[in-house]
Amino acid sequence: MIRISIDAMGGDFGPEVVMAGAAKALERHPDVSFLLYGLKAECEPWLARYPKLRERSVFHACELAVAMDEKPSAALRRGRYVSTMWRSIEAVKLGEADVVVSAGNTGALMAMSKFCLRTLASIERPAIAGIWPTLKGESIVLDIGATIGADSQQLLDFALMGGAMARALFEVDCPTVGLLNVGVEEVKGQEEVKEAGRLIREANLPHLSYHGFVEGDDIGRGTVDVVVTEGFTGNIALKTAEGTARQIATLLRESMSRTLLARIGYLLAKPAFDRLREKMDPNKVNGGVFLGLNGIVIKSHGSANAEGIAAAIAVGYDMARNDLNAKISQDLKIYHARRLPPAGPEAA
Amino acid sequence: MIRISIDAMGGDFGPEVVMAGAAKALERHPDVSFLLYGLKAECEPWLARYPKLRERSVFHACELAVAMDEKPSAALRRGRYVSTMWRSIEAVKLGEADVVVSAGNTGALMAMSKFCLRTLASIERPAIAGIWPTLKGESIVLDIGATIGADSQQLLDFALMGGAMARALFEVDCPTVGLLNVGVEEVKGQEEVKEAGRLIREANLPHLSYHGFVEGDDIGRGTVDVVVTEGFTGNIALKTAEGTARQIATLLRESMSRTLLARIGYLLAKPAFDRLREKMDPNKVNGGVFLGLNGIVIKSHGSANAEGIAAAIAVGYDMARNDLNAKISQDLKIYHARRLPPAGPEAA
C-alpha cells in the first residue's frame, strides 16, 4: 500500500481537477490510499463525485489555502501549520504518508518543504528534477529552478540524487549522467561544471555511469538518463524547449488550416497528429520531484488537467514504491565513506 | 556597392558550397562585390562554374586553411597573417571590405577577429548574436556563446549592441529589449541580471525600449526584438531549442509514415509541411553576428548548404548597408556621455 498525501487546493483549477486526477490515479494504481488536505466547503462536492476515491481517502479539513501567486515568504508566514499545503507535507514528516503531491505555488511548496522536512544530511540545497520527453523515451533534468547557481559539490549532489531518481523511475541499475555544458569554446564551460565533472569521475559511484559533458540538443536526443545543471540554466532550457514546442505546434496548425488540401490531409492524418500531440503533451509527463529532503515531494504543473494530476501522482507512486530516498541515502553513504581521508599520522 | 569578404574554405563542405552560396547571394543582391580567400587548387574549379560570381570577385590565393576542429589558439598561431580566415578578416581591417563572412571554426574565427580587428573602445567582450525564428517573425538573441558569464555592465553592452543590430536588421527605430531570467523564485534571478536591468533602465537610451525580464518561452513567442543573456545560458537555450525542433520533426516524420492513411494525409498536406519546414529551416535563418569589434564579422553555421551561405551573406549585406557599427558607436557615445559624472567639487 502506497500512502499519498495530496494538497487538494493546489493548481489553477483547485479541487475539481485534483479530485478527478486522484480518482484516475486510483484506477491505475489500486494499491494506493490518500490523505486529502483541503477546504471543506470547496472539496466535499467534488469528493462526493468519486465514491471509490472517497472510500480510499481520509479527508482533513484545513483552515486556509496558499494562493498561486503568493510570495513564498508570505505563504510560509501565513500558512505554516494550518494551510492545506503545509499539512499535506507534514503528513510525510509524521510518517503518515509516503509521498506528497501538490499542484500549488512552486516557491511556496519548496519553502514549506524545506522548512517542514529539512534537507538530508550533507545536502546543502534541494533541487527540482523534471522529467523530459526525449527521442528515446524520457530523461531527468535537474535542477530546473529550485535555486540559482550551484558550486561543483552541489552539482555532484544533483548528479547523485538524479541518478537515484533514475534508478527509481526507469528501474535501471546504473543510469548515465551528463553535465550540461557548452561546446563552442576552447576552454569549455564554467569552472564549477569542469570541477564537478572531475569530482563525479573521481567519486566513481557504483550506481552511476558518468557520460561527461552534454550540450543543449542532447537533452531532446536522450543522450543520457540524467542531465545535471544549476537551476538558472535548467529553468531557461526547460522553458525554451516548451516555448519551441508550442511555437512549432502553432505554426503547424496554421499551415494545416491554410488550404483545403492541407485540411483534408490533416483529417486523414489526424490519428498520427494525435499520437504526436500525446507524446509531447505536458500533462503526460508531469511531476517535478524535489530531491534532497527528508521526504518525497512531487510538484505538478499548476495548469495540469486531471490527466496531468494523475501523471504527477504516478510519479510520486513510483518514487515511493521504489524507495527513492533510501537510494539517495545509500549513494550518499557510499560517496562520503569513500571521501574519508585515509588514516595516517595527521588523523592520529 | 557592398564589398563582402569571404573565407571560401570555411564550413563542412568547403568551397563547393561557399561558391554556390555566394553566387546565389549575388543574384539576390546585384550591388555586391566579393573578395574571395581560398586555396587556389580547391577553389578555381568551383569558381569557374559561376561566371557572374567570377566577374564580380577578386580571388586571393592563400597558403592555408583553418581546420574545423582546430583549437582556436593553434589556429591563431598557425594561421595568423596567412590563412584564408585571417586574410578575409584582415580585408575588413584594411577597409577593402565592408563585412566578412565565414562558415569556419567558430572559436578560431572569434579569436582571429578579436586579434585582428580588436574590440570597440569601451567594449570589453564581443558577443555572438543569433537570429531566432519566432511566432512573430525573428528576434535577436545574444550572447549565444562568445564567452561564459557576463557582469551587469557587459549585459548592458550586449543590450545596446543587440539593439543597434535590431535597428539594422529589422529597420525599426526603437527595438524592444528583454533580459533573460527565471520566474520561479521570490528573489528572481541572478544578481548580475537584476543589476543589468537597473542599469539599462537608468541609461534610458533613445533607441532602445527596455521591456524588463523575459523567460525561456518568451524567445519563441517573439515577446521582444532582442533577448539578452550571457553566453553559457544563451548557447544552451539555442541548442535546446534546436534539439526540440529536431525532436518534434523526427516524431512527426515517424507518425506520418506509420499508417497508409497518415501517408496519404501527409502527401495531401505536403505543401503545408514544406512551408513549416522552410520556416524552421536553420539554413533560412543563418548568420551569427559578432558584435563589439572594429568591423562586422558574420559566422555561418558550419553545416550550412548554399542556401544557408546565401542567408549568412544576406545578413552581412544588411549589417553593412545599414551601417551596424555606426549605430553601435552612436549608442555607445550617447550612453557614455550620459554617464559622465556631473561637474562638482570632486571633479574640480
A312 residue type, one letter: A
Q: Please, are residues A136 and B175 in contact by the beta-carbon 8 Å criterion?
A: no
B188 residue type, one letter: K
Residue in chain A closest to B251 (alpha carbons) equals A276
Give the pLDDT band of residue A282 (cuts 50, 70, 90): low
Q: Which tens digits make up the pLDDT trace of A136-176?
A: 999 999 999 888 899 999 999 999 999 999 999 998 999 99
Instruction: Please indicate if any CB of chain A lies within 8 Å of the CB of B143.
Output: no
Same domain, A27 and A102: yes
Burial class (CB in 10 A: 0-12, 13-18, 19+), B334: middle
Q: What pLDDT is attached to residue A343? A: 56
Q: Which residues contact B30 (CB under 8 A, 6 or more apart)?
A: none
Q: How far apart are CA A339 and CA A337, in angstroms?
A: 5
- Domain's final residue, options B235, B266, B287: B287
Angle between helices A15-28 and A306-321 (to 10 degrees): 50
Q: Which tens digits make up the pLDDT trace of A258-270?
A: 888 888 888 888 8
Q: What pLDDT is attached to residue B347? A: 43
Residue corresponding to grid cell 564580380 = B56
Whether residue A333 lies inside any domain: the answer is no
Whether residue A258 lies inside any domain: the answer is yes
Same domain, B279 and B152: yes
Whether residue A339 lies inside any domain: the answer is no
Q: How far apart are CA A151 and CA A196, in angstroms?
A: 8
Q: Does the distance separating the beta carbons of A255 and B276 come in below 8 Å? A: yes
Q: How far apart are CA A203 and CA A288, in angstroms?
A: 27
Give the pLDDT band of residue A287 (cuts 50, 70, 90): confident
B49: domain CATH number? 3.40.718.10
| Residues β-bridged to residue A37 | A7, A60
Q: How far is CA A140 from CA A340, B197, B344, in A?
A: 30, 32, 58
Q: Does the distance separating the beta carbons of B251 and A271 come in below 8 Å? A: no
Q: Which residues contact A317 (CB under 8 A, 6 or more apart)?
A: A2, A4, A25, A29, A32, A99
Alpha helices in chain B (DSSP H): 15-28, 40-48, 51-55, 72-79, 84-93, 106-117, 152-170, 191-203, 216-221, 231-256, 260-268, 270-280, 306-321, 324-339
- Domain's final residue, options B287, B311, B332: B287
Same domain, A104 and A245: no
H-helix or E-strand containing B190? none
Residue in chain A closest to B110 (alpha carbons) equals A185
Residue in chain B closest to A263 (alpha carbons) equals B269
Q: How far apart are CA A304 and CA A310, in angstroms?
A: 9
Question: Which of A:85-104 have CB within 8 Å of B?
Answer: none
Q: How far apart are CA B92 and CA B99, in angstroms?
A: 6
Instruction: Please indicate if any CB of chain A lies within 8 Å of the CB of B272.
Output: yes
Q: Please, are residues A88 and A116 in contact by the beta-carbon 8 Å criterion?
A: no
Tell me which residue of B1, B9, B3, B79 sits closest to B309, measured CA to CA.
Answer: B9
Same domain, A91 and A167: no
Instruction: Please indicate if any CB of chain B lies within 8 Å of the CB of A302.
Output: no
Q: Which tens digits make up the pLDDT trace of A187-243?
A: 567 889 999 999 999 999 999 999 999 999 999 999 999 999 999 999 999 999 988
H-helix or E-strand containing A111? helix A106-117
How large is the ipTM? 0.87
Same domain, B307 and B209: no
Q: Please, are residues B151 and B116 in contact by the beta-carbon 8 Å criterion?
A: no
Selected for mutation to probe chain B from A233, A244, A273, A303 (highest B CB count within 10 Å) is: A244
Q: Please, are residues B35 and B96 in contact by the beta-carbon 8 Å criterion?
A: yes
Q: Are strands B296-299 and B209-214 parallel, antiparallel or unpaired?
A: unpaired
Same domain, B79 and B184: no
Task: Please give, rounded to a whole number of angstroms, the shortest distance from the CA of B235 to a CA of chain A.
Answer: 6
Please give chain B's pLDDT, 348 residues, in tens: 999 999 999 999 999 999 999 999 999 999 999 999 999 999 999 999 999 999 999 999 999 999 999 999 999 999 999 999 999 999 999 999 999 999 999 999 999 999 999 999 889 999 999 999 999 999 999 999 888 899 999 999 999 999 999 999 998 999 999 999 997 455 567 889 999 999 999 999 999 999 999 999 999 999 999 999 999 999 999 999 988 888 888 888 888 888 888 888 888 888 877 877 777 776 777 889 999 999 999 999 999 999 999 999 999 999 999 999 999 999 999 998 877 665 555 543
Question: Which of A:7-66 have CB within 8 Å of B?
Answer: none
Q: What pLDDT is attached to residue A344? A: 54
Q: Does the distance separating the beta carbons of A243 and B216 come in below 8 Å? A: yes
Selected for mutation to probe chain B from A239, A251, A284 (highest B CB count within 10 Å) is: A239
Residue corresponding to grid cell 576542429 = B69
Q: What pLDDT is attached to residue B340? A: 64
- Please give the DSSP secondary-structure letter assigned to residue A128: E
Q: Which residues contact B140 (CB under 8 A, 6 or more apart)?
A: B129, B130, B131, B132, B162, B165, B166, B169, B225, B226, B227
Task: Look up residue B15 and give its three cell numbers.
Answer: 568551397
How would DSSP label each residue in A266-334? Answer: HHHTHHHHHHHHHHH-TTTS--EEEESBSS-EEE--TT--HHHHHHHHHHHHHHHHTTHHHHHHHHHHH
Q: What share of chain A in percent tops pLDDT 90? A: 75
Q: Which tens digits make up the pLDDT trace of A6-54?
A: 999 999 999 999 999 999 999 999 999 999 999 999 999 999 999 999 9
Q: What pLDDT is attached to residue A227? A: 98
Q: Collect all residues of chain A within an 8 Å Cβ-Cβ radius of residue B262.
A: 268-269, 271-272
Nearest to A232 among B73, B106, B233 (CB): B233
What total number of domains does chain A contain?
2
Residue B33 sits in which domain range?
1-123+292-348
Q: Collect all residues of chain B within an 8 Å Cβ-Cβ radius of residue A275.
A: 255, 258
Q: What pLDDT is attached to residue A61? A: 97
Nearest to B216 among A73, A238, A268 (CB): A238
Nearest to B275 among A145, A255, A280 (CB): A255
Same domain, B141 and B116: no
Convert B278-312 into a string of H (helix), E (strand) and C (coil).
HHHCCCCCCCEEEECECCEEEECCCCCCHHHHHHH
Q: What pLDDT is attached to residue A348? A: 38
Tell me which residue of A240, A71, A235 sits closest to A148, measured CA to CA.
Answer: A235
Other Cβ atoms within 10 Å of A243 Cβ, number? 25
Same domain, A67 and A168: no
Q: Provide the 3-class DSSP secondary structure of residue B3.
A: strand
Same domain, B142 and B113: no
Instruction: Please indicate if any CB of chain A lies within 8 Å of the CB of B278.
Output: no
Same domain, A56 and A105: yes
Task: Look up residue A318 and give its three cell numbers.
Answer: 513510483
Q: How far apart are CA B191 and CA B38, in angstroms?
A: 46
Same domain, A88 and A12: yes
Same domain, B276 and B147: yes
Q: Which residues contact B18 (CB under 8 A, 6 or more apart)?
A: B6, B7, B8, B9, B10, B11, B103, B309
